[in-house]
Homo-oligomer: A and B are copies of this chain.
Amino acid sequence: MRNKLISMQEAVAKYTWDGMQYAHGGALPVGTDSIAFGREMLKQGRKDLNVVSNCNTQQTNLLAAAGAIKRMEVGFAGLEVYGFANGLKRAVETGKTILEDYSNGSIPLRLLGGALNWPFVPATVNIGCDQEWCCADRPDEYPCQTKIPKIKDPFTGKEYGAFTVLKPDLAAIHVTMADAYGNAIMLGTEWSRYELSRAAKKVVLQADFIVDTDCMRQFPNLVRIPDVVVDAVVYWPLGAWPHCSTGVYDSDEKEMFAMNAALKTDEGYQEYRKKYVDSYNTWEEYLDMIGQEKIAQLTNNPTTFLMDPYRKWIKSDDAIKRLMSEGRQ
Protein backbone atom coordinates (compact mmCIF):
# COMPACT_ATOMS: atom_id res chain seq x y z
CA MET A 1 0.00 0.00 0.00
CA ARG A 2 1.28 3.40 -1.01
CA ASN A 3 0.81 6.56 1.04
CA LYS A 4 -1.11 8.82 -1.36
CA LEU A 5 -1.66 11.86 0.85
CA ILE A 6 -0.59 15.00 -0.97
CA SER A 7 -1.43 18.68 -0.75
CA MET A 8 -4.33 20.24 -2.61
CA GLN A 9 -1.93 22.35 -4.66
CA GLU A 10 0.07 19.32 -5.68
CA ALA A 11 -3.02 17.27 -6.52
CA VAL A 12 -4.44 19.93 -8.81
CA ALA A 13 -1.05 20.62 -10.42
CA LYS A 14 -0.41 16.94 -11.03
CA TYR A 15 -3.82 15.66 -12.07
CA THR A 16 -5.51 18.50 -13.96
CA TRP A 17 -4.76 20.30 -17.20
CA ASP A 18 -6.45 22.69 -19.61
CA GLY A 19 -8.93 21.03 -21.93
CA MET A 20 -9.20 17.86 -19.89
CA GLN A 21 -12.36 15.87 -19.28
CA TYR A 22 -12.96 16.60 -15.63
CA ALA A 23 -15.58 14.91 -13.44
CA HIS A 24 -16.46 15.99 -9.95
CA GLY A 25 -17.97 13.71 -7.42
CA GLY A 26 -20.74 14.84 -5.27
CA ALA A 27 -24.20 14.16 -4.08
CA LEU A 28 -26.63 16.32 -6.03
CA PRO A 29 -26.51 20.14 -5.90
CA VAL A 30 -26.75 20.62 -2.13
CA GLY A 31 -24.92 17.56 -0.85
CA THR A 32 -21.24 16.92 -0.73
CA ASP A 33 -18.89 17.76 -3.61
CA SER A 34 -15.16 18.31 -4.17
CA ILE A 35 -15.70 22.06 -4.17
CA ALA A 36 -12.35 22.97 -2.59
CA PHE A 37 -10.66 21.07 -5.41
CA GLY A 38 -12.54 23.22 -7.91
CA ARG A 39 -11.46 26.39 -6.11
CA GLU A 40 -7.85 25.26 -6.42
CA MET A 41 -8.32 24.56 -10.13
CA LEU A 42 -9.44 28.16 -10.47
CA LYS A 43 -6.38 29.37 -8.50
CA GLN A 44 -4.18 27.43 -10.90
CA GLY A 45 -5.96 28.90 -13.91
CA ARG A 46 -7.44 25.73 -15.40
CA LYS A 47 -9.58 26.46 -18.47
CA ASP A 48 -11.38 24.92 -21.44
CA LEU A 49 -12.67 22.17 -19.20
CA ASN A 50 -14.90 19.42 -20.53
CA VAL A 51 -16.93 18.63 -17.43
CA VAL A 52 -18.89 15.51 -16.53
CA SER A 53 -21.39 16.51 -13.93
CA ASN A 54 -24.17 14.28 -12.71
CA CYS A 55 -25.57 17.43 -11.13
CA ASN A 56 -24.35 20.96 -11.19
CA THR A 57 -23.00 22.10 -7.82
CA GLN A 58 -21.49 25.35 -6.56
CA GLN A 59 -18.21 24.01 -7.94
CA THR A 60 -19.42 23.96 -11.53
CA ASN A 61 -21.46 27.10 -10.93
CA LEU A 62 -18.20 28.84 -9.93
CA LEU A 63 -16.06 27.33 -12.69
CA ALA A 64 -18.68 28.25 -15.28
CA ALA A 65 -18.93 31.79 -13.91
CA ALA A 66 -15.15 31.99 -14.31
CA GLY A 67 -15.47 31.00 -17.96
CA ALA A 68 -13.42 27.85 -17.33
CA ILE A 69 -15.99 25.36 -18.64
CA LYS A 70 -16.06 24.91 -22.40
CA ARG A 71 -18.48 22.01 -22.39
CA MET A 72 -20.45 20.15 -19.77
CA GLU A 73 -22.63 17.05 -19.72
CA VAL A 74 -25.21 17.19 -17.03
CA GLY A 75 -28.28 15.55 -15.54
CA PHE A 76 -29.46 18.58 -13.57
CA ALA A 77 -28.17 22.12 -13.90
CA GLY A 78 -29.75 23.89 -10.93
CA LEU A 79 -29.30 24.20 -7.16
CA GLU A 80 -32.58 22.58 -6.04
CA VAL A 81 -34.35 24.78 -3.48
CA TYR A 82 -31.48 27.28 -3.69
CA GLY A 83 -32.65 28.15 -7.21
CA PHE A 84 -31.11 28.34 -10.66
CA ALA A 85 -27.32 28.22 -10.83
CA ASN A 86 -26.58 31.75 -11.98
CA GLY A 87 -22.98 31.26 -13.01
CA LEU A 88 -23.71 28.25 -15.16
CA LYS A 89 -26.94 29.76 -16.49
CA ARG A 90 -25.07 32.86 -17.64
CA ALA A 91 -22.33 30.80 -19.29
CA VAL A 92 -24.87 28.69 -21.16
CA GLU A 93 -27.10 31.56 -22.26
CA THR A 94 -24.12 33.48 -23.63
CA GLY A 95 -22.79 30.43 -25.45
CA LYS A 96 -19.60 30.27 -23.39
CA THR A 97 -20.43 26.80 -22.13
CA ILE A 98 -21.89 24.12 -24.36
CA LEU A 99 -24.33 22.19 -22.19
CA GLU A 100 -25.24 18.68 -23.24
CA ASP A 101 -28.35 17.46 -21.45
CA TYR A 102 -28.96 14.00 -20.04
CA SER A 103 -30.77 13.10 -16.81
CA ASN A 104 -29.86 12.24 -13.25
CA GLY A 105 -30.30 8.54 -13.93
CA SER A 106 -28.50 8.32 -17.24
CA ILE A 107 -25.23 10.02 -16.25
CA PRO A 108 -24.55 7.37 -13.55
CA LEU A 109 -25.42 4.56 -15.97
CA ARG A 110 -23.03 6.02 -18.54
CA LEU A 111 -20.34 6.12 -15.84
CA LEU A 112 -21.14 2.52 -14.96
CA GLY A 113 -20.78 1.64 -18.64
CA GLY A 114 -17.38 3.35 -18.62
CA ALA A 115 -16.40 1.49 -15.46
CA LEU A 116 -17.34 -1.81 -17.10
CA ASN A 117 -15.63 -0.73 -20.33
CA TRP A 118 -18.77 -1.48 -22.28
CA PRO A 119 -19.10 -0.19 -25.85
CA PHE A 120 -22.44 1.46 -25.01
CA VAL A 121 -25.21 1.39 -22.43
CA PRO A 122 -28.80 0.45 -23.33
CA ALA A 123 -31.04 3.51 -23.02
CA THR A 124 -34.61 3.06 -21.83
CA VAL A 125 -34.65 6.68 -20.61
CA ASN A 126 -33.78 10.00 -22.30
CA ILE A 127 -35.42 8.69 -25.47
CA GLY A 128 -38.59 10.06 -27.00
CA CYS A 129 -37.68 13.49 -25.71
CA ASP A 130 -35.36 16.38 -26.50
CA GLN A 131 -32.41 14.88 -24.64
CA GLU A 132 -32.41 12.48 -27.60
CA TRP A 133 -33.36 14.94 -30.33
CA CYS A 134 -31.28 17.99 -29.32
CA CYS A 135 -27.51 17.69 -29.44
CA ALA A 136 -25.57 20.71 -28.23
CA ASP A 137 -22.39 19.26 -29.74
CA ARG A 138 -23.95 18.86 -33.19
CA PRO A 139 -26.73 21.47 -33.17
CA ASP A 140 -27.53 21.07 -36.87
CA GLU A 141 -28.66 17.48 -36.47
CA TYR A 142 -32.33 17.69 -35.46
CA PRO A 143 -33.84 15.35 -34.52
CA CYS A 144 -30.40 14.04 -33.69
CA GLN A 145 -29.81 10.37 -34.58
CA THR A 146 -26.27 10.11 -33.28
CA LYS A 147 -26.38 11.29 -29.68
CA ILE A 148 -28.55 8.40 -28.44
CA PRO A 149 -28.76 6.26 -31.58
CA LYS A 150 -31.42 3.61 -31.98
CA ILE A 151 -30.58 0.04 -31.14
CA LYS A 152 -32.69 -3.07 -31.58
CA ASP A 153 -33.18 -5.55 -28.75
CA PRO A 154 -32.03 -8.81 -30.37
CA PHE A 155 -34.49 -10.82 -28.26
CA THR A 156 -37.73 -8.97 -29.09
CA GLY A 157 -36.86 -6.74 -32.03
CA LYS A 158 -38.09 -3.71 -30.07
CA GLU A 159 -36.26 -0.43 -30.45
CA TYR A 160 -34.40 1.32 -27.64
CA GLY A 161 -31.53 3.81 -27.50
CA ALA A 162 -27.81 3.48 -26.81
CA PHE A 163 -25.78 5.83 -24.63
CA THR A 164 -22.08 6.51 -25.04
CA VAL A 165 -20.11 5.55 -21.94
CA LEU A 166 -18.12 8.01 -19.82
CA LYS A 167 -14.44 7.61 -18.86
CA PRO A 168 -13.34 11.02 -17.57
CA ASP A 169 -9.64 11.84 -17.40
CA LEU A 170 -10.03 12.63 -13.72
CA ALA A 171 -12.64 12.34 -11.03
CA ALA A 172 -12.22 14.55 -7.97
CA ILE A 173 -14.45 12.88 -5.42
CA HIS A 174 -15.48 14.18 -2.05
CA VAL A 175 -15.60 11.52 0.67
CA THR A 176 -16.30 11.76 4.36
CA MET A 177 -13.29 9.70 5.42
CA ALA A 178 -10.21 8.34 3.68
CA ASP A 179 -7.06 6.68 4.87
CA ALA A 180 -3.67 7.65 3.48
CA TYR A 181 -3.80 4.80 0.96
CA GLY A 182 -7.07 5.86 -0.61
CA ASN A 183 -9.62 3.61 1.07
CA ALA A 184 -12.70 5.75 1.51
CA ILE A 185 -16.01 5.83 3.34
CA MET A 186 -18.94 7.99 2.24
CA LEU A 187 -21.77 8.89 4.60
CA GLY A 188 -25.07 9.86 3.06
CA THR A 189 -26.15 9.06 -0.47
CA GLU A 190 -23.31 7.87 -2.66
CA TRP A 191 -25.12 9.44 -5.61
CA SER A 192 -22.82 8.35 -8.49
CA ARG A 193 -19.48 8.44 -6.70
CA TYR A 194 -19.06 4.66 -6.74
CA GLU A 195 -19.46 4.52 -10.52
CA LEU A 196 -17.31 7.61 -10.95
CA SER A 197 -14.45 6.09 -8.97
CA ARG A 198 -14.32 3.12 -11.37
CA ALA A 199 -15.01 5.00 -14.59
CA ALA A 200 -12.38 7.72 -14.32
CA LYS A 201 -8.83 7.23 -15.56
CA LYS A 202 -7.47 8.93 -12.43
CA VAL A 203 -9.13 9.47 -9.07
CA VAL A 204 -8.32 12.10 -6.43
CA LEU A 205 -10.19 11.96 -3.15
CA GLN A 206 -10.96 15.08 -1.16
CA ALA A 207 -11.70 14.00 2.41
CA ASP A 208 -13.28 15.75 5.39
CA PHE A 209 -11.32 13.42 7.67
CA ILE A 210 -8.23 11.28 7.36
CA VAL A 211 -8.63 8.12 9.41
CA ASP A 212 -6.42 5.22 10.33
CA THR A 213 -6.68 2.11 8.15
CA ASP A 214 -7.91 0.24 11.24
CA CYS A 215 -11.20 2.04 10.67
CA MET A 216 -11.43 0.41 7.24
CA ARG A 217 -10.61 -3.02 8.68
CA GLN A 218 -13.41 -2.61 11.20
CA PHE A 219 -15.92 -1.49 8.54
CA PRO A 220 -14.76 -3.00 5.22
CA ASN A 221 -18.31 -3.10 3.85
CA LEU A 222 -18.43 0.70 4.15
CA VAL A 223 -15.31 1.11 2.04
CA ARG A 224 -17.03 1.45 -1.30
CA ILE A 225 -13.94 3.11 -2.80
CA PRO A 226 -10.90 0.87 -2.20
CA ASP A 227 -7.33 2.08 -2.57
CA VAL A 228 -6.77 0.20 -5.83
CA VAL A 229 -8.81 2.72 -7.81
CA VAL A 230 -7.38 5.84 -6.11
CA ASP A 231 -4.36 7.90 -7.19
CA ALA A 232 -4.19 10.63 -4.55
CA VAL A 233 -5.80 11.68 -1.29
CA VAL A 234 -6.22 15.29 -0.22
CA TYR A 235 -7.26 16.35 3.25
CA TRP A 236 -9.46 19.42 3.19
CA PRO A 237 -11.79 19.99 6.14
CA LEU A 238 -15.17 21.58 5.37
CA GLY A 239 -14.20 21.02 1.75
CA ALA A 240 -17.76 20.79 0.43
CA TRP A 241 -18.72 24.16 1.94
CA PRO A 242 -21.14 25.82 1.34
CA HIS A 243 -22.77 22.45 0.56
CA CYS A 244 -23.44 19.92 3.28
CA SER A 245 -21.52 16.78 4.12
CA THR A 246 -23.78 14.25 5.79
CA GLY A 247 -22.57 13.40 9.27
CA VAL A 248 -20.28 16.44 9.38
CA TYR A 249 -21.75 19.82 8.42
CA ASP A 250 -24.93 21.38 7.13
CA SER A 251 -25.23 23.42 3.99
CA ASP A 252 -24.53 27.09 4.69
CA GLU A 253 -27.87 28.58 3.76
CA LYS A 254 -26.79 32.20 3.79
CA GLU A 255 -23.66 31.51 1.80
CA MET A 256 -25.45 29.32 -0.73
CA PHE A 257 -27.68 32.26 -1.66
CA ALA A 258 -24.90 34.84 -1.42
CA MET A 259 -22.50 32.86 -3.57
CA ASN A 260 -25.13 32.20 -6.20
CA ALA A 261 -26.16 35.86 -6.20
CA ALA A 262 -22.53 36.89 -6.69
CA LEU A 263 -22.08 34.55 -9.65
CA LYS A 264 -24.92 36.25 -11.50
CA THR A 265 -22.55 38.88 -12.90
CA ASP A 266 -18.92 38.96 -13.85
CA GLU A 267 -18.25 41.70 -11.28
CA GLY A 268 -19.87 39.58 -8.61
CA TYR A 269 -17.74 36.64 -9.66
CA GLN A 270 -14.55 38.74 -9.51
CA GLU A 271 -15.38 39.87 -5.99
CA TYR A 272 -16.29 36.35 -4.94
CA ARG A 273 -13.07 35.02 -6.33
CA LYS A 274 -10.99 37.58 -4.48
CA LYS A 275 -12.75 36.88 -1.24
CA TYR A 276 -13.25 33.12 -1.35
CA VAL A 277 -10.70 31.69 -3.76
CA ASP A 278 -7.59 33.86 -3.78
CA SER A 279 -7.73 34.68 -0.09
CA TYR A 280 -6.28 31.47 1.33
CA ASN A 281 -3.60 28.90 0.68
CA THR A 282 -3.68 26.38 3.49
CA TRP A 283 -6.66 24.58 4.94
CA GLU A 284 -6.16 26.57 8.14
CA GLU A 285 -6.54 29.83 6.22
CA TYR A 286 -9.55 28.35 4.45
CA LEU A 287 -11.22 27.53 7.76
CA ASP A 288 -10.43 31.02 9.04
CA MET A 289 -12.09 32.41 5.94
CA ILE A 290 -15.28 30.51 6.75
CA GLY A 291 -14.99 31.54 10.37
CA GLN A 292 -15.06 29.59 13.61
CA GLU A 293 -18.52 30.75 14.57
CA LYS A 294 -20.00 29.65 11.27
CA ILE A 295 -18.19 26.33 11.47
CA ALA A 296 -19.50 25.70 14.96
CA GLN A 297 -23.00 26.40 13.71
CA LEU A 298 -22.74 24.18 10.61
CA THR A 299 -21.18 21.24 12.45
CA ASN A 300 -23.88 21.27 15.10
CA ASN A 301 -26.54 19.42 13.15
CA PRO A 302 -28.86 16.41 13.46
CA THR A 303 -26.62 14.10 11.40
CA THR A 304 -23.41 14.35 13.44
CA PHE A 305 -24.21 11.13 15.33
CA LEU A 306 -23.54 9.31 12.05
CA MET A 307 -19.81 10.02 12.52
CA ASP A 308 -19.65 8.68 16.09
CA PRO A 309 -18.51 5.12 15.31
CA TYR A 310 -15.44 6.42 13.46
CA ARG A 311 -14.19 9.30 15.62
CA LYS A 312 -11.54 7.32 17.44
CA TRP A 313 -9.67 6.73 14.19
CA ILE A 314 -9.60 10.37 13.04
CA LYS A 315 -6.09 11.66 12.51
CA SER A 316 -5.02 15.03 13.89
CA ASP A 317 -3.81 17.82 11.62
CA ASP A 318 -0.27 17.20 12.87
CA ALA A 319 -0.44 13.50 12.11
CA ILE A 320 -1.77 14.29 8.65
CA LYS A 321 1.07 16.70 7.99
CA ARG A 322 3.57 14.06 9.05
CA LEU A 323 1.94 11.55 6.69
CA MET A 324 2.05 14.12 3.88
CA SER A 325 5.76 14.72 4.31
CA GLU A 326 6.43 10.97 4.61
CA GLY A 327 4.55 10.39 1.39
CA ARG A 328 6.76 12.88 -0.39
CA GLN A 329 9.94 11.02 0.46
Contact = CB atoms under 8 A, between A and B. Distances in A.
Interface of A: 109, 116-122, 124, 149-151, 153-156, 158, 160, 162, 164, 185-188, 190, 218-222, 224, 305-306, 308-309
Contacts of A190: 221
A309 B122 CA distance: 41
Contact of A120 (B153, B186, B220): B153
A230 to B, nearest CB: 18
Nearest to A121: B122
A117 B160 CA distance: 12
From DSSP, what is the main secondary structure of chain A's interface residues? Answer: loop
A221 B154 contact: no
A124 B114 CA distance: 13
11 contacts: A118-B124, A119-B158, A120-B155, A121-B122, A149-B154, A150-B154, A187-B221, A190-B221, A218-B309, A221-B224, A309-B309
A308 B220 CA distance: 13
Contact of A155 (B153, B154, B162, B309): B162
Nearest to A159: B119
A216 to B, nearest CB: 12
The list of the 3 closest CB pairs from A to B, nearest first, reads: A119-B153, A149-B154, A118-B122
Contacts of A118: 122, 124
Contacts of A218: 305-306, 308-309
Given A119-B158, A309-B309, 15 more contacts: A109-B116, A117-B124, A118-B122, A119-B156, A119-B160, A120-B122, A120-B154, A120-B155, A121-B122, A149-B154, A151-B154, A218-B305, A218-B309, A220-B306, A221-B224
Given A119-B153, A154-B150, A309 B124 contact: no
